[in-house]
Amino acid sequence: AVLALLRRDFADNDTALLLGGMAPDYQTRLVEGIGSTIDLSVAEATAAQKALEEQVTQMSSHGRYLEYSLRFARQKIASLEEQTSTMTSHGRLLEYSLRIAHDEIARLTRASESATSWPSRLKSIKLYVAKSAERSRFCDVAFEGLYRRLGVL
């Protein structure tokens, strides 16, 4: 088979020149050596090809895993962006609620301060009512005396 390859790739004269002058036994060994070298090279090339195919398979697997990881990371980023948006919205709502609470506290503080002045106001109101009651009794006594004089009572 190797001899046929040599004859195919080289002209008959080149093969004769290459092998010429050698004993047929040496020619056979040379051709067998070349054949063994070619077989070994083919085996090594086949093994290398299989190793490369395994590497390609592994790289493809890694590529799919990386694509999956990238897709997952993008989904996670989108989820985090959505959460950030929601939290920002909640933050604004909390700030607004805080302003309302602060205003309400200020209003209640003013009302409380105003309520602390009520005792003095209440005293003046009680005094006014008491004086009014005295006047009312005085008026009642005066009118009663007047009615008696007039003979109405």
What is the DSSP code (8-state) at residue 119?
H
pLDDT at 10 (0 to 100): 60
36 and 104 inside one domain: yes
Q: Are residues 75 and 104 in the same domain?
A: yes
Same domain, 102 and 36: yes
Angle between helices 24-116 and 12-19 (to 10 degrees): 100
What's the gap between Cα 125 and its chain centre? Answer: 65
Shared domain for 63 and 129, answered yes or no, is no
pLDDT tens per residue, range 10-40: 655 666 666 677 787 887 888 788 888 889 9
d(CA 142, CA 90): 73
Percent of the chain with pLDDT over 90: 27
CA angle in degrees (0–180, nearest 5) for 78-83-86? 130
Measured in degrees and rounded to the nearest 5, phi and psi for residue 50 equal -65, -45
Same domain? 108 vs 124: no
Q: What's residue 30's pLDDT? A: 80
The residue range of the domain holding 49 is: 2-116
Render pLDDT for 63-91 as a digit per residue (tens, 0 to 9): 999 999 999 999 999 999 998 888 888 88
If one counts every other C-beta atom within 10 angstroms of the C-beta of residue 127, the result is 10
Q: Which pLDDT value is given to residue 49?
A: 97
Q: Are the beta carbons of 38 and 2 closer than 8 angstroms?
A: yes
Q: Looking at the structure, tell me whether residues 23 and 79 fall in a common domain.
A: yes
- 118-122 average pLDDT score: 60
Which pLDDT score is estimated for 92?
84
Task: Report the domain count for the chain.
Answer: 2
Sign for the CA dihedral angle at 39, 41, 47, 50 comes to: negative
Is residue 31 domain-shared with residue 79, that is, in the same domain?
yes
